[in-house]
């Protein structure tokens, strides 16, 4: 079967040309070749894979490496000549020593994402250490106090985007609680032949530079026939006044990115093997710089057993959204002599990556059609103010029929005309009221949500009511409960803010260079309240300490190192300030972090 015929039968979207589908097929020896524990399974390549390193002593060399993910030669930032970097296999309770040598022309670093360690070993230049200058070696040494799936990446400028990232798997001291016959890492990432500096420059010049799903005349005609010309005009006027787009789902889309699975493009088709009747653990890591993926395996239920390395009560799903830096362990039980597609589509629906789970090499399964993109809704803009009806079905044109025609008429956006509790909105829980800092009122903030939503059972834009069982944070319950049983002694409220048109990102309207550090008192238990005053999701990562997320009613929910806050949403979590030192706290979308959504946390 020709590739073009395969694409038509698989339902590949028309916007993806044949060239875009095969991007990455010729990556050669620099492609990642990981995904297994040699003692447990065979994948591509076979057992003995040199890209899996285990033990307690590691030598890692950072350097440039020629790659070709798209049919065009480029240079990546590699570890030991590999993109992604080698899988590091540790054992809980051991002390690991990692000698990292920098062969790059600029200062570099490695951050051990989600690993609890002393601040001096955390790997953030300017906070926890000075960085690794060219030609020098830095030795990381720390005790491994946890088990599970994690990852590592550079924390120096844009090196994470150019290839410096890799998986970590920590074996529990007593062995895995749930035994499986096969165990694979599935690392998702994004690659662009454009330099990260060029990408950021394009976003600064025009924030929708990579967004090919802008509202069109055809969309207007459709809306006019559905709701009437006046309402359709009012809807467009609303978005124009706010200088926002209902399709701002991702800053950098498949227009610029080729999506990779363990270093292989869609045509590269990374393949993992199984025998009939076996249980297979997939350790899915989003190691991308800027991409949020929706992951599923058509024809197979996935049992989620861990989130961000921490075991959870098993929950069976068809699909899950995995934000940048998040990790989910799932167990599947493939049956029969057939192949299954591992399918991850980007949140903006402008690209995807696929791999295969099969009994034999060379087998393939149908590649699903990428879902149609959805517009952001009033819920994603106004939070609780838009939740009087069916949240999933309340799209912006429906909301327009119930309310005003501009931002000035929407009390949920900054104006607070309705009191907390939302009188007149039947069946709703009391609304949370946000407290905006004075610093939010400036040119760097184009939106403020007065009454954010607190629901955590919403899978998010593009996944609502899609006919599949989709994981939400409400489904996640960490085994054993919180590590610290104390309640919070105080609250810290922070708002995720930005100006999309100017491509400015911040906490409380202040970019990192203008903000003072946050101070945690050593030993205290505190609550962090995050309110997303933007229409984009933000995966927020606190270094050095766990974030123990609460339910809307204030009960312990799930322990994570990265928490995605959806548009117009309020999330709370408890933190035990048990790690002295200076720590990074930031959005894990790389260009958001670089544009200012970053704070320093000092524990003293």
Residue-level pLDDT at 219: 54
* Cα→Cα distances 199→186, 215, 256, 489, 572, Å: 26, 23, 8, 43, 33
Residue-level pLDDT at 322: 98
In this structure, what are the phi and psi dihedrals at residue 512, rounded to the nearest 5 degrees?
Answer: -55, -45
Taking only the tens place, the pLDDT of each residue in 353-381 is 999 999 999 999 999 999 998 878 877 77
Indicate whether this model's pTM tops 0.75.
yes
Q: Is 40 exposed, middle or buried (0-12, 13-18, 19+ CB in 10 A)?
A: middle
Domain chopping of the chain, boundaries: 3-178, 473-603
8 A C-beta contact, residue 136 and residue 102: yes
Rounded CA-CA distance 476/65 in Å is 39
Rounded CA-CA distance 538/585 in Å is 12
8 A C-beta contact, residue 374 and residue 247: no
As given in the structure block, the two tokens for residue 362 are 């060379």
- The 10 Å Cβ neighbour count of residue 442 is 13
Mean pLDDT by 10 residues, the chain (604 residues): 34 39 36 32 38 97 96 96 97 98 98 98 97 98 98 98 98 96 98 97 88 57 65 58 66 94 95 95 98 98 98 98 98 94 96 97 96 83 60 37 32 35 38 89 93 95 94 98 97 96 96 97 98 96 98 97 97 98 98 97 98
Rounded CA-CA distance 492/488 in Å is 10
As given in the structure block, the two tokens for residue 18 are 């044949």
Nearest CA to 82 out of 164, 173, 143, 175 is that of 164
8 A C-beta contact, residue 548 and residue 483: yes
Rounded CA-CA distance 198/205 in Å is 11
Residue-level pLDDT at 381: 74
Residue-level pLDDT at 379: 79
Rounded CA-CA distance 158/138 in Å is 20
Class of domain 3-178: mainly beta
**CATH architecture for residues 473-603:** Sandwich (2.60)
| Residues 363, 184, 563, 324, Cα dihedral to 10° | -60
8 A C-beta contact, residue 524 and residue 559: no
End-to-end Cα separation, the chain, in angstroms = 64
Rounded CA-CA distance 542/577 in Å is 11
Specify whether the backbone of 306 is left (phi greater than 0), alpha (psi in -120 to 50) or beta.
Answer: beta
Alpha helices in 366-470 (DSSP H): 378-382, 396-402
Fold match between domain 3-178 and domain 473-603: yes
Residue-level pLDDT at 236: 57
Rounded CA-CA distance 276/336 in Å is 6
Nearest CA to 294 out of 244, 368, 366 is that of 368
* Cα→Cα distances 150→85, 327, 371, Å: 13, 7, 29
Q: Is 101 exposed, middle or buried (0-12, 13-18, 19+ CB in 10 A)?
A: middle
Alpha helices in 353-467 (DSSP H): 378-382, 396-402
Residue-level pLDDT at 415: 32
Residue-level pLDDT at 210: 86
């Amino acid at each position: 079967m020709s590739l073009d015929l395969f694409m038509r039968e698989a339902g590949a979207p028309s916007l993806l040309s044949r060239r875009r589908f095969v991007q990455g097929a010729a990556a050669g020896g620099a492609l990642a070749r990981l995904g297994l524990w040699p003692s447990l399974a065979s994948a591509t390549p076979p057992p003995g894979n040199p890209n899996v390193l285990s033990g307690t002593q590691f030598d890692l060399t950072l350097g440039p490496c020629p790659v070709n993910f798209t049919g065009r030669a480029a240079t990546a930032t590699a570890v030991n000549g590999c993109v992604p970097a080698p899988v590091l296999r540790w054992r809980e309770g051991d002390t690991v020593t990692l000698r990292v040598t920098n062969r790059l022309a600029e200062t570099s670093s490695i951050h051990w994402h989600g690993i609890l360690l002393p601040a001096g070993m955390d790997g953030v230049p300017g906070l926890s250490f000075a960085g690794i200058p060219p030609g020098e070696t830095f030795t990381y040494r720390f005790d491994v106090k946890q088990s599970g799936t994690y990852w590592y990446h550079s924390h120096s400028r844009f090196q994470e985007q150019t290839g410096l990232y890799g998986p970590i798997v920590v074996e529990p001291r007593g062995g895995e609680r749930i035994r499986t016959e096969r165990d694979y890492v599935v690392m998702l990432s994004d690659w662009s032949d454009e330099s990260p500096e060029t990408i950021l420059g394009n976003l600064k010049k025009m924030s929708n530079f990579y967004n090919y799903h802008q509202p069109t005349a055809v969309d207007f005609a459709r809306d006019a026939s559905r709701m009437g010309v006046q309402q359709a005009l009012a809807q467009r006027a609303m978005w124009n006044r706010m200088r926002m787009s209902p399709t701002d789902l991702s800053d950098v889309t498949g227009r610029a990115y080729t999506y990779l699975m363990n270093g292989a493009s869609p045509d590269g088709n990374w393949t993992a093997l199984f025998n009939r009747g076996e249980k297979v653990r997939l350790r899915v890591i989003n190691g991308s710089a800027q991409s949020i993926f929706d992951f599923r395996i058509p024809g197979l239920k996935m049992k989620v057993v861990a989130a961000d390395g921490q075991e959870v009560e098993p929950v069976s799903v068809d699909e899950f959204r995995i934000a940048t830096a998040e990790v989910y362990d799932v167990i599947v039980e493939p049956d029969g002599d057939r192949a299954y597609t591992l399918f991850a589509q980007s949140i903006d629906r402008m690209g995807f990556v696929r791999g295969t789970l099969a009994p034999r090499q060379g087998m393939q399964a149908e590649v699903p059609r990428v879902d149609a993109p959805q517009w952001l809704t009033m819920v994603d803009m106004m939070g609780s103010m838009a939740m009087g009806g069916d949240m999933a079905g309340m799209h912006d044109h429906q909301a327009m029929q119930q309310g005003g025609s501009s931002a000035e008429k929407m009390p949920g956006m900054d104006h607070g005309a309705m009191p907390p509790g939302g009188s007149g909105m039947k069946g709703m829980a009391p609304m949370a009221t946000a407290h905006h800092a004075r610093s939010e009122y400036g040119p760097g903030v184009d939106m403020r949500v007065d009454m954010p939503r607190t629901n955590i059972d919403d899978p998010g834009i593009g996944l609502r009511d899609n006919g599949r069982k989709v994981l939400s944070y409400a489904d996640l319950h960490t085994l054993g409960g919180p590590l610290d049983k104390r309640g919070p002694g105080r609250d810290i409220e922070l708002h995720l803010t930005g100006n999309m048109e100017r491509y400015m990102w911040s906490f409380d309207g202040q970019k990192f260079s203008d903000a003072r550090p946050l101070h945690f008192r050593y030993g205290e238990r505190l609550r962090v309240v995050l309110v997303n005053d933007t229409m984009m999701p933000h995966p927020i990562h606190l270094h050095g300490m766990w974030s123990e997320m609460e339910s809307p009613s204030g009960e312990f929910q799930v322990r994570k190192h990265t928490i995605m806050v959806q548009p117009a949403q309020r999330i709370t979590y408890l933190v035990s300030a048990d790690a002295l030192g200076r720590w990074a706290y930031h959005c894990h979308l790389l260009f958001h972090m670089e544009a200012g959504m970053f704070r320093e946390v000092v524990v003293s």
